[in-house]
Amino acid sequence: MDFDADDKVIVGRVLDIDDIISFHGESVADFEGNFHATIDDYIAASKALGSAPEKPASGKVMLRIAPEVHAAALKAAARSGTSLNKWAEKTLGKAARKVVSGAAGQRGA
Protein backbone atom coordinates (compact mmCIF):
# COMPACT_ATOMS: atom_id res chain seq x y z
CA MET A 1 0.00 0.00 0.00
CA ASP A 2 1.35 3.41 -0.99
CA PHE A 3 0.09 6.95 -1.03
CA ASP A 4 0.27 8.75 -4.38
CA ALA A 5 0.70 12.40 -3.37
CA ASP A 6 0.24 13.66 -6.93
CA ASP A 7 -3.16 12.02 -7.37
CA LYS A 8 -3.99 12.05 -3.65
CA VAL A 9 -5.00 8.38 -3.59
CA ILE A 10 -4.03 5.29 -1.65
CA VAL A 11 -2.74 2.64 -4.04
CA GLY A 12 -2.66 -1.09 -3.29
CA ARG A 13 -1.61 -4.29 -4.99
CA VAL A 14 -2.11 -7.94 -4.10
CA LEU A 15 1.34 -9.34 -3.40
CA ASP A 16 2.91 -12.78 -3.78
CA ILE A 17 0.96 -13.88 -6.85
CA ASP A 18 1.88 -13.70 -10.55
CA ASP A 19 -1.34 -11.97 -11.61
CA ILE A 20 -1.37 -8.18 -11.28
CA ILE A 21 -4.25 -7.01 -9.11
CA SER A 22 -4.19 -3.35 -8.14
CA PHE A 23 -6.74 -0.94 -6.69
CA HIS A 24 -6.91 2.54 -5.19
CA GLY A 25 -9.12 4.90 -3.23
CA GLU A 26 -9.26 8.51 -2.09
CA SER A 27 -10.15 7.46 1.49
CA VAL A 28 -9.64 4.37 3.61
CA ALA A 29 -13.29 3.39 3.13
CA ASP A 30 -13.03 3.96 -0.64
CA PHE A 31 -9.75 2.00 -0.75
CA GLU A 32 -11.26 -0.92 1.17
CA GLY A 33 -14.40 -0.97 -0.97
CA ASN A 34 -12.35 -0.91 -4.17
CA PHE A 35 -10.17 -3.72 -2.83
CA HIS A 36 -13.21 -5.96 -2.30
CA ALA A 37 -14.71 -5.01 -5.69
CA THR A 38 -11.40 -5.71 -7.44
CA ILE A 39 -11.05 -9.13 -5.80
CA ASP A 40 -14.66 -9.98 -6.72
CA ASP A 41 -13.93 -8.96 -10.33
CA TYR A 42 -10.73 -11.03 -10.37
CA ILE A 43 -12.56 -14.12 -9.09
CA ALA A 44 -15.33 -13.65 -11.68
CA ALA A 45 -12.83 -13.16 -14.51
CA SER A 46 -10.89 -16.27 -13.46
CA LYS A 47 -14.11 -18.29 -13.43
CA ALA A 48 -15.12 -16.94 -16.86
CA LEU A 49 -11.70 -17.95 -18.23
CA GLY A 50 -12.02 -21.41 -16.70
CA SER A 51 -9.07 -21.00 -14.35
CA ALA A 52 -8.72 -20.91 -10.60
CA PRO A 53 -7.87 -17.55 -9.06
CA GLU A 54 -4.34 -17.45 -7.72
CA LYS A 55 -3.98 -17.07 -3.96
CA PRO A 56 -0.94 -15.94 -1.99
CA ALA A 57 0.77 -18.82 -0.21
CA SER A 58 0.37 -18.89 3.58
CA GLY A 59 3.86 -20.23 4.25
CA LYS A 60 2.43 -23.27 6.03
CA VAL A 61 2.78 -26.70 4.45
CA MET A 62 1.55 -29.99 5.89
CA LEU A 63 3.24 -32.97 4.29
CA ARG A 64 2.52 -36.65 4.63
CA ILE A 65 5.66 -38.54 3.78
CA ALA A 66 7.05 -42.00 4.38
CA PRO A 67 8.64 -42.42 7.82
CA GLU A 68 11.96 -43.28 6.16
CA VAL A 69 11.95 -39.99 4.26
CA HIS A 70 11.06 -38.11 7.45
CA ALA A 71 13.93 -39.78 9.32
CA ALA A 72 16.39 -39.07 6.50
CA ALA A 73 15.30 -35.42 6.38
CA LEU A 74 15.74 -35.08 10.16
CA LYS A 75 19.26 -36.50 9.86
CA ALA A 76 20.12 -34.23 6.92
CA ALA A 77 18.87 -31.18 8.82
CA ALA A 78 20.86 -32.15 11.91
CA ARG A 79 24.02 -32.68 9.82
CA SER A 80 23.58 -29.26 8.24
CA GLY A 81 23.12 -27.69 11.67
CA THR A 82 19.61 -26.39 11.00
CA SER A 83 16.08 -27.18 12.03
CA LEU A 84 13.97 -29.46 9.86
CA ASN A 85 11.84 -26.45 8.86
CA LYS A 86 14.85 -24.43 7.68
CA TRP A 87 16.38 -27.44 5.94
CA ALA A 88 13.08 -28.24 4.17
CA GLU A 89 12.58 -24.59 3.18
CA LYS A 90 16.06 -24.44 1.64
CA THR A 91 15.71 -27.83 -0.08
CA LEU A 92 12.20 -27.17 -1.41
CA GLY A 93 13.20 -23.69 -2.55
CA LYS A 94 16.19 -25.02 -4.46
CA ALA A 95 14.09 -27.74 -6.12
CA ALA A 96 11.26 -25.32 -6.98
CA ARG A 97 13.63 -22.76 -8.52
CA LYS A 98 15.23 -25.52 -10.61
CA VAL A 99 11.85 -26.68 -11.93
CA VAL A 100 10.60 -23.13 -12.56
CA SER A 101 13.78 -22.05 -14.35
CA GLY A 102 13.71 -25.26 -16.41
CA ALA A 103 10.09 -24.64 -17.40
CA ALA A 104 10.90 -21.04 -18.35
CA GLY A 105 13.75 -22.28 -20.53
CA GLN A 106 11.49 -24.77 -22.28
CA ARG A 107 8.90 -22.08 -23.10
CA GLY A 108 11.58 -19.99 -24.78
CA ALA A 109 12.74 -22.93 -26.92
Task: Report the percentage of the chain scoring pLDDT > 70.
Answer: 94
Residues 7 and 43 both lie in one domain:
yes
Assess if residue 62 is contained within a domain: no
Structural domain that includes position 97: 67-108
- Establish if 97 belongs to a structural domain: yes
∠ at Cα 47 (62, 104), nearest 5°?
60
Residue 94 pLDDT > 90: yes
Mean pLDDT over 18-45 rounds to 95
User: Exposed, middle or buried, 46 (CB in 10 Å: 0-12/13-18/19+)?
Assistant: middle
Q: Give yes or no for a contact between 74 and 84, defined as CB atoms under 8 angstroms apart.
A: yes
Which pLDDT does position 16 carry in this prediction? 84
pLDDT value for 107: 56
Q: Looking at the 3D structure of the chain, how many domains does it have?
A: 2
In a domain, 8, yes or no: yes
Average pLDDT of the residues in 74-85: 95
Q: What is the pLDDT of residue 106?
A: 62
13 lies in a domain? Answer: yes
pLDDT level of residue 3 (50, 70, 90 thresholds): very high
Residues linked to residue 23 through DSSP beta bridges, in sequence order: 12
In a domain, 58, yes or no: no
Kindly state whether residue 9 falls inside one of the protein's structural domains: yes
In the prediction, which pLDDT does 9 show?
95
- Quick one: CA torsion of 102, 105, 90, 16, rounded to 10 degrees? -120
Give the three-state DSSP class for 54: coil
Q: Which amino acid is at 33?
A: G
Q: Are 43 and 14 members of one domain?
A: yes
Residue 61 lies in a domain: no
Please report whether residue 60 resides in a domain: no
